[in-house]
Amino acid sequence: MSYLGAHLSSAGGFYKMGQAALSIGADTFQCFLRNPRGARAKTVDLSDVERLRVLLEENRFGPFVAHAPYIMNPCSKDEGIRGLAAEMMAGDLAVLEGLPGNYYNFHPGSHVGQGMETGCRMIADMLNAVLKPEQQTVVLLETMAGKGSEVGGRFEDLAAILSQVELSDKMGICLDTCHVSDAGYDIIHNLDGVLEDLDRVVGLNRLKAVHINDSMNPPGARKDRHAKIGEGTLGLETILAVIDHPALRHLPFILETPNDTPGHGRELAMLRQELEKRKSA
Ligand code: FE
Ligand code: FE
Ligand code: ZN
């Protein structure tokens, strides 16, 4: 059975978040390690981190995903903003050393007119400055909707970044179902074809986590507006086909749908029930 979970608020601390995950029947989750729109890290309570580590181990959680703040842009024109991105990532990765074996996902960034090639190089430069050989976290590039000058709307963008990162074994990718559809990859009618594409360009072995979101917009819209499962253009069947795909099944699947935690719990229960039905069908 796949690991299923949702994006949770970390406002009450790490251990409380683990309890929230348990309360909705999740065995993975995603969270921010700091305010998603602000740069300042809160002081981290190491004993709280340790209590979460034990809770996750005792309850046999799959790997979880820490999400970088949205304001991070490692391919900004502004050197100060690029420096801040490196600082935030280094700080977050230091916290994650207390929770070894998990993932750190980030939006590659927006090249703001500098071009895709320059954007990809700047992102790789940051990673080469921040990644450490001894770190126990794998850093994931998220597939993006390709809005504006966003890097990561094409699998080729991710491949270009990965090819320039020295500590390549510390890197992976995270597939977002809303984003790839918005970017124009037809996972509704041709999931196998999209995964073949991903395998050819990036390598399926790089894929470490999946964001399961429906989309408010038609394929190719380059918009990035998430919808609840079954309430968007992808539909329940597409999401189930992703979770139940033989090449993906073993991964953590995380909801980032517009819902609160109890709502995410209901979506998870519905997904588990539908997956059971598929198994016995
Ligand atoms: Fe994201
Ligand atoms: Fe996402
Ligand atoms: Zn999104």
- Ligand 1 centroid – CA 280 distance (Å): 33
Percent of the chain residues past pLDDT 70, beyond the cut: 98
Rounded distance from Cα 281 to ligand 1 centre (Å): 34
CB atoms within 10 A of CB 15: 18
pTM over the 0.85 mark:
yes
**Residue 44 confidence (pLDDT):** 87
Contact at 8 Å (CB) between 257 and 238? no
Amino acid (one-letter) located at 201? V
State the sign of the Cα–Cα–Cα–Cα dihedral 224, 229, 232, 235: positive
| pLDDT (0 to 100) of residue 1 | 72
Residue 256: the pLDDT is 98
Give tens-digit pLDDT for 6-43: 999 998 999 999 999 999 999 999 999 987 676 566 68
Neighbours of 118 (CB within 10 A): 14
pLDDT in tens, 175-232: 999 999 999 999 999 999 999 999 999 999 999 999 999 999 999 999 999 999 999 9
* 254 CA distance to ligand 3 middle (Å): 12
Would you state the pLDDT for residue 29?
98
Residue 39: burial class (beta carbons within 10 Å; 0-12, 13-18, 19+): middle
Name, in order, each residue with C-beta under 8 angstroms of 48's C-beta and a sequence gap of 6 or more. Answer: 13, 14, 15
For the chain, the helix, strand and coil percentages under 3-state DSSP, each to the nearest 5: 40, 15, 40
Q: Distance, CA 279 to ligand 2 centroid (Å)?
A: 27
Q: Is the pLDDT of residue 80 over 80?
A: yes
Which numbered ligand comes closest to the C-alpha of 256?
2
The predicted pLDDT at position 162 comes to: 98
- Residue 82: the pLDDT is 98
The CA 207 to ligand 3 mean position distance, Å, reads: 17
Would you say 80 and 45 are in contact if contact means Cβ atoms under 8 Å apart? Answer: no
136, 100 Cβ separation under 8 angstroms: yes
Give distance in angstroms: CA of 117 to centre of ligand 3.
23
pLDDT at 96: 97
Q: How far, in Å, CA of 196 to CA of 106, rounded? A: 23
Looking at every residue in the chain, the average pLDDT score rounds to 96
Average pLDDT score over residue span 69-96: 96
Which pair of structure tokens corresponds to residue 208?
């470490």
